[in-house]
Amino acid sequence: MESQLPKFTREPEKYSRLRLLEALEELYLSLEMLKEGYSRNSASKLFLSWKALLSSLVVSNFNKIIEKKKREGKDDEVKWYLRIGYSATTGLIGISQDLEDLGFKGIINLTTAMLGIHRYAYNGLDKDISPFHSRNDAIISIKELIKTEIEIISSMKLEDEEKELIEKIKTKLGTI
């Protein structure tokens, strides 16, 4: 996704939708890489997809998150969300906790799994760093995490473009 993102505070719905499309495009690319035998590249794309999805979820639930933070007197966290948190580039476990507090169950565990995928993408099967003992284990996890992410996205309000991408991803996943 090469288009310029709008400022999230001016056009939150547009920003959230573009990040959702980015997540789906990255998922598709992850499968393309996996099909070609590039499991680490696939893992990297999967992690980028997850971050884009978290950002989409944060922005679409931004007011709820901010209201909760203000009630709890966490003004520093409000400022952080306004400055960078909405983009889900850092603080992924904290963001996941905030989303779980809003009812998105299992997000922390998925984020933890995605961080393991991220370690694999950068370090391969290094026994001191990688959560995987074999490339096949990594591939199995990549496929399962893609399925899980698709389930989450499928439960959201989607437009035709997103629905078409989901079908492309499901078809591609069935061939790998």
The torsion angle over the Cα atoms of residues 40, 19, 93 and 79, rounded to 10 degrees, is: 140
In a domain, 141, yes or no: yes
Average the pLDDT over 54-74 and give the result. Answer: 96
pLDDT > 90? residue 35 = yes
Q: What is the pLDDT of residue 3?
A: 56
Residues 68-74: contacts with CB within 8 Å, 24+ apart?
68/98, 68/101, 68/102
Q: What is the pLDDT of residue 11?
A: 86
E strand or H helix at 42: helix 39-60
In a domain, 5, yes or no: no
pLDDT tens string 91-117 = 999 999 999 999 999 999 999 999 999
Average the pLDDT over 80-96 and give the result. Answer: 92
In a domain, 18, yes or no: yes
In a domain, 4, yes or no: no
pLDDT > 90? residue 131 = yes
pLDDT > 70? residue 5 = no
Average pLDDT of the chain is: 94
In a domain, 165, yes or no: yes
Q: What is the pLDDT of residue 8?
A: 78
148's CB contacts (< 8 A; 6+ apart) are 110
In angstroms, how far is the first alpha carbon of the chain from the final one? 24
In a domain, 3, yes or no: no
Domain count, the chain: 1
More confident residue, 165 or 6: 165
In a domain, 21, yes or no: yes
Range of the domain at 155: 12-174
pLDDT > 70? residue 6 = no
Q: What is the pLDDT of residue 10?
A: 82
- Percent of the chain past pLDDT 70, that is, above it, reads 97
- Tell me how far CA of residue 152 lies from CA of 20, 129, 131, 145, in angstroms: 11, 28, 24, 11
Q: What is the pLDDT of residue 1?
A: 45
In a domain, 1, yes or no: no
- Backbone conformation region of residue 91, classed left if phi is above 0, alpha if psi is from -120 to 50, else beta: left
